[in-house]
Amino acid sequence: MNIKIYHNTRCGSSRKACAILEESGQTYEVVNYIKTPLSTDEIQELLDRLGISPMELVRTKEKVWMENYAGRTLTDLQIVEAMQQHPNLIQRPIVVKGKIAVIGRPPELIKDLLEI
- Alpha-carbon span 64 to 7, nearest angstrom: 19
11 is catalytic: yes
Q: Please, are residues 57 and 33 in contact by the beta-carbon 8 Å criterion? A: no
Pick the catalytic residue: 11, 64, 74, 109? 11
Which are the contacts of 1, defined by CB distance < 8 A and separation ≥ 6? 97, 98
Enzyme catalytic residues: 11
